[in-house]
Structure 1
Amino acid sequence: MDYEEYFKASVQKIKAEDRYRVFADLERHSGNYPHALNRRDGAAEDVVVWCSNDYLGQGQNPIVLEALVEAAEKLGCGSGGTRNISGTTHLHVILEEELAQLHGKEAALLFTSGYVSNDAAISTITQLMPDCVILSDAWNHASMIAGIRHSGCEKRIYDHCDMAHLERLLKEIDPARPKLIAFESIYSMDGDISPIKEICDLADTYGAMTYIDEVHAVGLYGDTGGGITQREGLQDRLTVIEGTLAKGFGMVGGYITGSAALVDAVRSNAPGFIFTTTLPPPVVGGAIASVRYVRQHNELREKHQERAAKLKQMVADAGLPLMESVTHIVPVMVGDPVLCKRATDMLLADYNIYIQPINYPTVPKGTERLRITPSPFHTDALMEDLVGALVEVWQRLELRQAA
């Protein structure tokens, strides 16, 4: 039996469906963001990155880097174990306190990634409540879907941001059964925002818990970067607020915040937390500095929003098919996986602009797109170059213009 054929066949199927992903070999230089070196065919060339989730450029902030280096020199590179077995440093304790304060919650718990935090927290919380039902937005992230599947609980999927559908599903469930509504604040491929207040109102009416994923909002929205829930004054109405250190804070890692009792229960029961080496001290030290910096510098958020708004207007004025977005996400629609890949290949090869094509299964078939994420460091000149290149690529490939 040739086992390798199974693996080759799986990849070939992906290639046949035009879903095969090729990584850009990038070398970011601190202090030069959003520029990077792209290594290809034995050569290296300068490119402008337009698809990074390091939304505020915190990955190159000198204050963050200094804290990271200081932690490495004092505490070493690795944590040395799980949180329960020698892996909890005082920096981990401080960071959890900072994150709890950021979201107005009693406690926080760190995980090795945002994916792990959603998977571990959702599955553990719901498993602790016998006969729990999970109500999940149809567009929830793969990590939330994994947590729901691993919970083994009954699930009900409501149409994306459809409050009438969510209420119908809630009405069908026995009031005595535990219920958890799981959703995101910002949906990162379309850039839309959930009706958080309305979801909380329904949760109150039908006795449900709420679990919100704020990974594409923390650091970017709210007076101190607490996300959409902070901006809208709703933090105290959410049972669990989940976030990441990898986007607005420019580091790596995930976390949840909530009541002391809930967080302690996850800490004590979640395999995804218990049985893994914890985040390295240098990462945690850098994250503390980043969270504190972002909380204190609202002008960074204001600049980020200004850049995003300006780019969206430029894209629209150029007649390109911009999907309407109320956030910092700038989706430009293509609608075909082959053409989407060709467009991004041309942008990289001919214009030194790096944007990763977004195809199925990240987005539904027929909605393939370029997902552009401007930062405070993308200048007017860079935006003009981008829009000019997009217009030329659209003309060369005869892609659909704006309606």
Structure 2
Amino acid sequence: MSIVSVLESRVEETRKAGRYRNYISLERAVAERPWVLEHKHEGTRKINVWCSNDYLALSQHPAVIDATVDAVQTVGLGTGGARSISGTSIYHTRLEERIAAIHRKEGALLFTTGFTANDATLSTICDTVPDIVAFSDSLNHASMIYGIRYSKAEKKIFRHNDVAHLEELLKAYPRERPKLIAFESLYSMDGDFAPLQEIVALAKKYNALTYLDEIHSAGVYGAYGTGYAEELGLLDEIDIIQGGFGKAFGAAGGYITGPKVVIDAVRSFAPAFVFSTSSPAPVVAAALASFEYNIAHPDLRAQLLDRVSELKQGFKELGIPLVSDESHILPILVGDPYRCKEISRRLIDEFGIYVQPVNAPTVPEGTERLRVTPTAAHTSADVQTFLAAVRSVWADLALEVAK
């Protein structure tokens, strides 16, 4: 069997299982957010997006746009090299210093993506520290999984948010053996928070380093919008924090912040960092502007959480089943890939509302869902329109409601 035929067979299997991913071509408009134009062969149509990670709608904010344009006109686009070879712009330096200061850490390091930040950092630590054991939550993001999996480290997977299971695994190793606990603050497919206090306590008890992915919490929670650890007053208790600018901050890129020795090790030994061309200076300038704007405007975060509260209440009144209602991410539980796609199709075709279906293998089979993410750009009227559309589709398809 040829390589091409094998690939064709695998893709066809994905289609038959209802897992094939369809991409929608969108034209975003600054003046129309959160509305966009969907481009199809037969023309365009206006739709309201309810599955964006641009939680604060900062990607289209004038402060961010102006900073981007100013940087392009001042320094141009690309940096011309990797960070070590002419690729460290003034914006990279300023943003890293600001991230470290706000998180009360010794240093910070920027990456082109959040995925790279996790992958490079975890693989570097796990490859560099002899005899280290990595403990990873079972629902960690693929970037964390791959970073640990392809290192030389021994690894243990603990059941999602199960601190009893984590302790059971930790206590099997001598206290002096190097250990790292990798977990997220907010799991984006379930919308639930990690038990940060309990994990931090276990890390202290068993002498483990903590690595926290804040990418879906960063920008939304905390007095300065750094994330859930700040919200809980635990910034000083977490050793390494990872975040990014492609979600709430509306820009692009990832970062880590933590002890200076960790930052130095990653910038020295991580191939994905050392051999990558650095992020374009205007993109970093945009991230810096967004970061600063968010710190100065907690009202924007409050506006988002107001819309989230309205939506939660509406789902509760309608009996729409949710995987979790803990955070600003509200996944509607459907439980069938074909039905999930059908609900998504009807919402966009009949009501101009876009919510992407999330099927296996992104989530386990039988837990297929619609991942709903309101933004600060949505209005109370938008929320009511969305709820009415969901109610209509739910009734027409005779779907079960929560008791």
Deviations 1:315-355 (A, max 9, x none): 11112113332110111111000000011011111111000
User: How do residues 4-403 of structure 1 correspond to structure 2 at under 5 angstroms?
Assistant: 4-403=4-403
Structure 1: distance between partners of 2:133 and 2:379 = 48
Q: Distance in 2 between matches of 1:178 and 1:359?
A: 37
8 A Cα contact 1:53 1:248, kept in partner? yes
Q: Deviations over 1:221-242 (max 9, x none)?
A: 0001010111111111111000
- Give the deviation of 1:41 after TM superposition: 2.9
Local SS of the residue matching 2:30: coil
CA distance in 2, matches of 1:247, 1:2: 40
Give TM-score scaled by structure 1 length. 0.98
User: Which letter does structure 1 place at the counterpart of 2:40?
Assistant: R
Partner Cα separation in structure 2 for residue 57 and residue 177 of structure 1 = 45
Deviations 1:243-296 (A, max 9, x none): 011111100100100011110111000011011111001101111100000011
- 1-structure distance, mates of 2:384, 2:265: 51
Cα deviation, residue 186, structure 1: 0.5
Q: What is the rounded CA distance, in whole Å, between the counterparts of 1:298 and 1:154 in structure 2?
A: 42
What amino acid does structure 1 have at the position aligned with 2:135? L
Instruction: Give the Cα–Cα distance (whole angstroms) in 2 for the partners of residues 217 and 179 of structure 1.
Output: 25
For the residue of structure 2 that corresponds to 1:151, the secondary structure is coil
User: How far apart, CA to CA, are the structure 1 residues paired with 2:115 and 2:365?
Assistant: 23
For residues 173 and 309 of structure 1, the distance between their equivalents in structure 2, rounded to whole angstroms, comes to 43
Q: Give the aligned residue type for 2:18.
A: D
Is the partner of 2:167 in helix, strand or coil?
helix
Gaps of 5+ in 1: none
CA distance in 2, matches of 1:204, 1:268: 28
User: How many Å apart are 1:174 and its aligned residue?
Assistant: 2.1
> Is the contact made by 1:127 and 1:153 (CA closer than 8 Å) also made in structure 2?
yes
1: CA distance, partners of 2:198 / 2:243: 21
CA RMSD of aligned residues (A): 1.0
CA contact (8 A) 1:312 1:322 kept: no
Q: Which stretch of structure 1 is more off in the superposition, 52-61 or 150-159?
A: 150-159
Q: Distance in 1 between matches of 2:320 and 2:285?
A: 43
Deviations for 1:190-220, whole angstroms, at most 9, x for unmatched residues? Answer: 1111111111111111110000000000110
Q: Calculate the TM-score normalised by the size of structure 2.
A: 0.98
1:42 offset after TM fit, Å?
Answer: 2.7
CA contact 1:102–1:225 (8 Å) conserved in 2? no
Q: 1:2: Cα distance to partner?
A: 4.1
> 333-342 vs 34-43, which deviates more?
34-43
Alpha-carbon distance in 1 for matches of 2:77, 2:265: 29
Say whether the 8 Å CA contact 1:320–1:401 is kept in structure 2.
yes
Residues 218 and 227, structure 2, Cα contact 8 Å, conserved in 1: yes
Task: Give 1:69's aligned amino acid.
Answer: V
Contact kept, 8 Å, 2:318 with 2:401, in 1: the verdict is: no
Q: Which amino acid aligns with 1:160?
A: H
Name the SS of the counterpart of 2:32 in structure 1.
coil
Give CA-to-partner distance per residue, 1:67-93, whole Å, 9 cap, x none. Answer: 001111111111111001111111110
Matched position secondary structure for 2:108 = strand
Cα distance in 1 for partners of 2:81, 2:14 equals: 37
SS in 1 for 2:21: coil
Q: SS where residue 215 of structure 2 aligns?
A: coil
Partner AA of 1:388 in structure 2:
A
Paired with 1:272 and 1:235, the residues of 2 have a C-alpha distance of 27
How many residue pairs get matched? Answer: 403
Instruction: Identify unmatched segments of 5+ residues in structure 2.
Output: none
Query: In the TM superposition, what is the alpha-carbon distance from 1:64 to its structure 2 partner?
Result: 0.6
- Which letter maps to 1:369? R
| Alpha-carbon distance in structure 1 between the residues aligned to 2:33 and 2:151 | 40
What's the CA shift for 1:3? 3.2
1:362: Cα distance to partner?
A: 1.3
Aligned counterparts of 2:179 and 2:216: Cα–Cα separation in 1: 25
How far the C-alpha of 1:152 sits from its partner, in A, is 2.1
